[in-house]
Amino acid sequence: MHTPIRIGTRESQLAVWQATTVQQLLQQNGFAAKLVYIKSDGDIDLKTPLYEMGVQGIFTRSLDIALLNGSIDIAVHSMKDVPTQLPKNIVQCAVLERASFKDILVLNSQWSMVNGQWLLASDATTEFQISNSKLVIATSSIRRKAQWLHRYPKHTIENLRGNVNTRLKKLAESNWHGAIFAGAGLERINLRPANSIDLDWMLPAPAQGAIMVVCREGNTTCFEACQHFNHAQTALCTQIERNFLRALMGGCSTPISALAQIQNNQVQFKGNIVAVDGSAKVEIEKTVLVSEATDLGYIAAKEILQQGAKAIVDTINHAN
């Protein structure tokens, strides 16, 4: 039996689920492994909106430090939280098969939705169309905020931070109408409420729903151990999405969305960028053969900049 591979993870229920999944995959391939718990900066400050914290990798930095100083051997991340440029001497060693990439709206328990109408649970006569009312929706994601305001400009967005358990609790205790979550995060730990709705119109964050494993450069034992469960199609699609993000701005706290999917040996790509206040949106769609998809993210980024995205990018850059 090999010396146990030390897996670095944040302490949240979802992060531990992800790390435990990697631990089980390693064990299935003959590698002993154990979890090492590390608190991240993003878990400590639960009040400041993510887009105001002014730093990339807010949820990954502490794990990166532990990896580089030898406290752990590999780190497990929600891939959408990982900066597009990995720190020096850290390399991607596996991407797990993607779960749901969708964002979902979780309704406050006071409300339900029927055929696009919001109903007050205690008063069935109180109903109104979502698009024509001044609802309050919670999220800490600038991408979700921008897309929501683009679709529903009369609504108000409130900041909502914390792990998924904390956010669900805050929603239940609030007067908000609902809050936006990543579907995969709630589904993986069996916390998706019955009163939740897939936001099929909302394009996800690059690499949303995917899990990335990283190790120190040159650690061939860990790299090769993790390659046993690397999912090539997910790795390709998420790399395309992250290249699109990197070519436009490079940060994870930006209103940039991307989704690549493989069907019939073709990669179907959708991407967009939305003004922070929702006032403008530019989008792009492209389909290429898998064999020609390596640079698809960069190509799509170049084209969307020429189609009007540069003005939005410049506005965001000037505001920072």
Q: Annotated active-site positions, please?
A: 81
Task: Give ∠ CA 152-154-160 in degrees, rounded to 5.
Answer: 75
Strand order in the sheet with 5-9: 33-37, 5-9, 74-78, 211-216, 90-95
Distance between CA atoms of residues 261 and 142, nearest Å: 24
As to burial, measured by CB atoms within 10 angstroms (0-12 exposed, 13-18 middle, 19+ buried), residue 61 is: middle
Cα–Cα distance measured from residue 7 to residue 181, given in angstroms and rounded to the nearest whole number: 26
Q: How many CB atoms lie within 10 A of CB 166?
A: 14
Residue with tokens 């992800």: 18
Q: 266-274 and 256-263: which strand pairing? A: antiparallel
